[in-house]
Amino acid sequence: MKRDTFFLSGTIILIIALGLQTFADEGMFLPDNIPGDLEGFQLSPEDIYKPGGGGLSDAVIIIGGGTGSFVSPNGLVLTNHHVAYGAIQRNSTPENNFLENGFYAGSYQDELPAPGYDAYITLNFIDITDRVLVAVNDKGSPADRSEALSKIIAQIEKECENLAEGTEGRVVSMLDGSAYYLFTYMKFKDIRLVYAPPGSIGNYGGDIDNWMWPRHTGDFSFMRVYTGPDGIPAEYSPDNIPFNSKAYLPISKQGFELGDFAFILGYPGGTMRYRTSYSVDWNLNHSLSFRIKIFRDLIDVLEAESKNNEELTIKFSSKIRGLNNALKNNQGMVEGLKKSNLLVRKKQEEKEFARFLNNNRNLNKEYSDVLPSIDKVYREHAFGFETDSYLNYLRFAFTLSNAIKIQKWSEEKEKPDAEREPGYLDFQIPNMRKRMGLGFRDYHAPTDAKVLKYFLVNMANIPEDQHPEFLRDIIAGQNIKEYERTIGDFIETLYANTGIVKKEECMKMFDLSLAELDVLADPFIEFAIKVNAALKINKKKNDKFNGTITVLRPRYFKALAEWKGGDMYPDANRTIRFTHGTIKGYFPRDGVYYKHLTSLRGVIEKNTGEEPFDVPEKIVNLRTEHDFGEYMDKKLGDVPVAFLATTDITGGNSGSPVMNSKGEIIGCAFDGVYESMTSDWQFNDRLTRTISVDSRYILFVLDKFSDAKQLLKELTIK
For the chain, give the mean pLDDT: 93
Q: Is residue 15 predicted with pLDDT exceeding 50? A: no
Tell me how far apart the alpha carbons of residues 396 and 295 are, in angstroms, rounded to a whole number. 11
Q: What is the pTM of this model?
A: 0.93
Top CATH class of 7-118+189-273+571-714 equals mainly beta
Are residues 32 and 582 in contact, defined by beta-carbon separation less than 8 angstroms? no
Q: Is residue 37 predicted with pLDDT exceeding 90? A: no
Are residues 567 and 186 in contact, defined by beta-carbon separation less than 8 angstroms? no
Query: What is the average pLDDT across 577-603?
Result: 97
172 burial level (CB within 10 Å; 0-12, 13-18, 19+):
middle
- According to DSSP H, which parts of 564-606 are helical? 600-605
Q: Is residue 98 predicted with pLDDT exceeding 90? A: yes
Query: What is the average pLDDT across 666-688?
Result: 94
Output phi, psi for 190, to 5 deg: -115, 100
Q: Which of 654, 656, 676, 692 is catalytic?
A: 654
Query: What is 32-98 written as a DSSP string?
Result: TS--S--TT--S-HHHH--TTS-SGGGGEEEETTEEEEE-STT-EEEE-TTTSHHHHHHT--SSS-H
Q: Does 82 participate in catalysis according to the annotation?
A: yes
User: pLDDT by residue (tens digit) across 383-427?
Assistant: 899 999 999 999 999 999 999 999 999 999 999 999 999 999 999
Are residues 190 and 225 in contact, defined by beta-carbon separation less than 8 angstroms? yes
Using pLDDT thresholds of 50, 70 and 90, give the confidence band for residue 269.
very high
Tell me how far apart the alpha carbons of residues 184 and 330 are, in angstroms, rounded to a whole number. 32
pLDDT at 567: 61
Domain spans of the chain, in order of start: 7-118+189-273+571-714, 277-560
Using pLDDT thresholds of 50, 70 and 90, give the confidence band for residue 617.
very high
Q: Does 627 participate in catalysis according to the annotation?
A: no
291 burial level (CB within 10 Å; 0-12, 13-18, 19+):
buried
Tell me how far apart the alpha carbons of residues 314 and 305 are, in angstroms, rounded to a whole number. 12
User: pLDDT by residue (tens digit) across 106-119?
Assistant: 999 999 999 999 99
Tell me how far apart the alpha carbons of residues 387 and 390 are, in angstroms, rounded to a whole number. 5
Are residues 167 and 51 in contact, defined by beta-carbon separation less than 8 angstroms? no
b/e burial code for range 224-258 (CB count within 10 A of at least 16 → b): bbbbbeeeebbeeeeebbbbebebbbbbbbebbee
Q: Which of 219, 281, 388, 442 is catalytic?
A: 219
Query: What is 482-547 written as a DSSP string?
Result: HHHHHHHHHHHHHHHH-STTSHHHHHHHHT--HHHHHHH--HHHHHHHHHHHHHHHHHHHHHHHHH
User: pLDDT by residue (tens digit) across 136-162?
Assistant: 876 689 999 999 999 999 999 999 999
Q: Which of 82, 444, 467, 596 is catalytic?
A: 82
Using pLDDT thresholds of 50, 70 and 90, give the confidence band for residue 642.
very high
pLDDT at 566: 56
Nearest alpha-carbon partner for 214 in 679, 641, 667, 617: 641
Helix axis angle for 523-563 and 385-393, nearest 10°, is 120
User: pLDDT by residue (tens digit) across 685-712?
Assistant: 999 999 999 999 999 999 999 999 999 9
User: pLDDT by residue (tens digit) across 56-87?
Assistant: 999 999 999 999 999 999 999 999 999 999 99
Q: Does 239 participate in catalysis according to the annotation?
A: no
Tell me how far apart the alpha carbons of residues 445 and 397 are, in angstroms, rounded to a whole number. 9
Strands 103-104 and 577-582, bridge-based pairing: unpaired
pLDDT at 139: 66
Using pLDDT thresholds of 50, 70 and 90, give the confidence band for residue 133.
very high
pLDDT at 569: 81
Q: Is residue 22 predicted with pLDDT exceeding 70? A: no
Using pLDDT thresholds of 50, 70 and 90, give the confidence band for residue 20.
very low
Q: Is residue 14 predicted with pLDDT exceeding 70? A: no
- As beta bridge partners, residue 185 has 122, 168
Query: What is the average pLDDT across 712-716?
Result: 98
Residue 693 belongs to what H/E stretch? Answer: strand 690-694
Q: Is residue 17 predicted with pLDDT exceeding 70? A: no
Query: What is 422-488 written as a DSSP string?
Result: TT-SGGGHHHHHHHHHHHGGG--HHHHHHHHHHHHHHHHTS-GGG--HHHHHHHTT--HHHHHHHHH
- As beta bridge partners, residue 188 has 119
Cα 609 to chain center, whole Å? 32
Radius of gyration of the chain from its Cα atoms, rounded to whole angstroms: 26
Better pLDDT: 638 or 138:
638
Tell me how far apart the alpha carbons of residues 33 and 270 are, in angstroms, rounded to a whole number. 18
Please give the share of the chain, as a percent, with pLDDT higher than 70: 96
Better pLDDT: 169 or 557:
169
Query: What is the average pLDDT across 674-681?
Result: 92
User: pLDDT by residue (tens digit) across 497-550?
Assistant: 999 999 999 999 999 999 999 999 999 999 999 999 999 999 999 999 999 999
pLDDT at 18: 31
Q: Distances from the Cα of 371 to the Cαs of 13, 278, 353, 669, in angstroms?
A: 19, 9, 10, 38
Query: What is 197-256 written as a DSSP string?
Result: --HHHHTTTHHHHTT-SS------EEEEEEE-TTSS--S--TT-EE---S----B--S--
User: pLDDT by residue (tens digit) across 174-183?
Assistant: 987 889 999 9
* Omega cis (within 30) before 73: no
Tell me how far apart the alpha carbons of residues 710 and 718 are, in angstroms, rounded to a whole number. 17
Q: Is residue 12 predicted with pLDDT exceeding 50? A: no
Tell me how far apart the alpha carbons of residues 276 and 351 are, in angstroms, rounded to a whole number. 12
Please give the share of the chain, as a percent, with pLDDT higher than 90: 89
